[in-house]
Amino acid sequence: MLYQNDDMGKDYLKGLEVGFAGDPNRIVAKESYEVAEPTIDSHVVRLKSSNPDVIVFFTTPKFGAQAIKKLGEMSWKPVTIVSNVSASTATVMRPAGMDNSQGVISAAYAKDASDPQWKDDAGMKAFDELIAKYMPDTNRVDSSAMTGYNMATTMVEVLRRCGDDLTRANVMKQAASLKQFAQGGLLPGVTLSTGPNDFQPIEQLQLMQFKGERCSCSATSSPAKPAAIRG
């Protein structure tokens, strides 16, 4: 596995290690990289030397694209899994090379703005309207745009529920009492839920695999909860 040497990467790493706690020898090699590194090619080459069957990239988009591209340059085709943050067709798969990205596996909770299946979707239309009105220079297919949109609409819902009582106590109370709140930017079947002792709003993902020119989800409802990758 290759992971970014920060809280994000280490959290993903911890989750996978917890998942393999009963058989730690299944993890044959680990490489970490710094965000200041211009390229992570050398890390991918070192991972290949351990001859793994599966390679997992816990990377941000720039480095995810680099890693997948390097696999293609080496004509190496292990089962390849990338973290959700690097599951973007527009910012990872296409820059890595369409041929190199075929078969890459990930998981998603949000809609991909570059996927034509959502062109007539009400939630995607609302996203596009907001982008056009307030942030016309934003690259709509950048996955960060959808992430920001989902965060913002969640905050709007929390403030709506607060009414005129905008004290910190009430804001926290409403933020910690979301029950299956469905956002337009989330995949069908994925909702937000929080509680007084549960501050992780999204606990559902849908498996996806890059085929052709887009990432296809395995299902459109009843996503599984990925306990093994929770930090």
| pLDDT tens, position by position, 86-123 | 888 888 999 999 999 999 999 989 998 988 889 999 99
CA-CA distance, 94 to 121, in Å (whole number)? 23
Do 44 and 25 lie in one domain? The reply is yes
Contact (Cβ atoms closer than 8 angstroms) between residue 127 and residue 113? yes
Q: What angle do CA 7, 43, 77 make, to 5 degrees?
A: 110
Query: Strand runs (DSSP E) across 14-93, as ranges?
Result: 31-33, 54-58, 79-82
- What is the reported pLDDT for 221? 37
**Does pLDDT of 218 surpass 90?**
no
Do 160 and 173 lie in one domain? The reply is yes
Q: What is the pTM of this model?
A: 0.78
- What is the reported pLDDT for 150? 94
- What is the reported pLDDT for 214? 65
Do 168 and 127 lie in one domain? The reply is yes
Do 198 and 144 lie in one domain? The reply is yes
CA-CA distance, 80 to 8, in Å (whole number)? 19
Do 76 and 188 lie in one domain? The reply is no
Q: How many domains does the chain have?
A: 2
Do 66 and 129 lie in one domain? The reply is no
Which residues span the domain enclosing 121? 111-202
Do 221 and 147 lie in one domain? The reply is no
Do 172 and 129 lie in one domain? The reply is yes
Do 77 and 155 lie in one domain? The reply is no
**Does pLDDT of 212 surpass 90?**
no
Q: How many Cβ atoms are within 10 Å of 187's Cβ, its own excluded? A: 22
Do 135 and 176 lie in one domain? The reply is yes
| pLDDT tens, position by position, 13-24 | 999 999 999 888
The b/e string for 55-91 (b: 16+ C-beta within 10 A; e otherwise) is bbbbbbbebbbbbbbbbbeeeeeeebbbbbbbbbbbb
Do 85 and 130 lie in one domain? The reply is no
Which of the pair, 211 or 193, is modelled with greater confidence?
A: 193
Q: For all residues of the chain together, what is the average pLDDT?
A: 89
- What is the reported pLDDT for 85? 86
- What is the reported pLDDT for 9? 95
Surface-to-core class of residue 103, CB atoms within 10 Å of its CB (0-12 exposed, 13-18 middle, 19+ buried): exposed
- What is the reported pLDDT for 54? 96
**Percentage above 90 pLDDT, the chain:** 73
Q: Report residue 160 as tokens.
A: 């709506």
CATH of the domain at 35: 3.40.50.2300
At 228, the pLDDT band (50, 70, 90 cuts) reads very low
Do 175 and 61 lie in one domain? The reply is no
